[in-house]
Amino acid sequence: MGFIEIKDLKIEFTKIDEGGNEVPGKVALDGVTLDIEKGSFVAIVGMNGSGKSTLAKCLNGLLTPTAGTVVVDGFDTADYETIWDVRSRVGMVFQNPDNQLVSTIVEDDVAFGPENLGIDPAEIRERVDNALIRVGMFELKDKGAHMLSGGQKQRIAIAGAIAMMPDCIVFDEPTAMLDPKGRAGVMDIIKELHSEGITCILITHFMSEAEQAERVIVLKNGKVLCDRTPAALFSDKEMIERAGLEMPPEIELRDKAGLPEKLTTAEDIADYIQKCR
């Protein structure tokens, strides 16, 4: 049994026709069935409009199914009575760091989530400090959020999610607006959270990030096109093309340099080159 069980999930957005009536509109997800294991690190990739963000929003009940079910740790996201059981288990980090910060001061921002869960103030203090330490932002806890770089703001958003002590965090293109240094910092935090047992779901358009997950789910037109290990996905050029994706840069470099195809990660390639020198 998965920690998150998605069965025949369909999301259809409605639209308003000329007569002012609400009518069926875009089908963003169409028959998605997936199990996500507790403690796993899963990447979700696919072209723009393939349904990634829609799927993310289904995982903590921000969107509820038009048809099918999403069950988180036994709680159906469509059940309004237990929506906080779902929300406290699955945290979210979105793409735009500026849209996620709710307070002007760093530590207040991190406290916002646990305050909403009704946690007692002494424990909130402890959770906020711990979360800030884990993202390397404790020293800046009294600072104004507007003074931070994009990467630092994103780390604050992650600290906010950590402070809720969720079992799972869904990251929807968290590095898309960051510079390479900010991106690497966020990836390091995600990998560390995974190593501590938190289920990490990373939506990304950087194949070099997807490659670091244990499993990659590819969406196309609201359906699961394939679901494999990164090594299996990135050794299948035809699938990458069908999905409208690109190879990770190091794999392209490997092929241009004529290195063996069995090398599937940047580490493998680096080791190989070291040994050849």
Ligand X SMILES: Nc1ncnc2c1ncn2[C@@H]1O[C@H](COP(=O)(O)OP(=O)(O)O)[C@@H](O)[C@H]1O
Name, in order, each residue with C-beta under 8 angstroms of 51's C-beta and a sequence gap of 6 or more. 11, 28, 29, 32, 219, 221, 222
Regarding 52 and contact with ligand X (CB under 6 A), the answer is: yes
Q: Which residues of 110-147 are buried (b: 16+ CB within 10 A; e: fewer)?
A: bbbbbeeeebeeeebeebbbebbebbebbebbebebee
CA distance 171 to 190: 9
- Residue 56 neighbours by CB distance under 10 Å: 22
* 163 vs 245, beta carbon nearer Mg ion: 245
| Stretch of residues binding ligand X (CB under 6 A), selected from 50-58, 78-86, 155-163, 265-273 | 50-58
* DSSP state letter for 165: -
175 lines the binding site for Mg ion (CB under 5 A): no
Does the footprint of ligand X cover residue 50 (CB under 6 A)? yes
Q: How many residues does the chain have?
A: 277
Residues in region 218-247 near ligand X by CB under 6 A: none
Query: Does 50 participate in binding Mg ion (rule CB under 5 A)?
Result: no
- Which is closer to ligand X, CB of 204 or CB of 265? 204
Minimal distance, residue 224 CB to Mg ion, in Å: 16
Q: Which of residues 3, 4, 9, 53 is near ligand X by CB under 6 A?
A: 53
Q: Which of Mg ion, ligand X, none has residue 49 at its interface (CB below 5 to 8 Å by kind)? A: ligand X
- By the rule CB under 5 A, 53 interacts with Mg ion: yes
Minimum Å gap between C-beta 212 and Mg ion is 19
Please give the C-alpha separations between residue 196 and each of 130, 175, 193, in angstroms, as whole numbers: 14, 21, 5
Q: Which spans of this chain sit near ligand X (rule: CB under 6 A)? A: 13, 25-26, 28, 46, 48-54
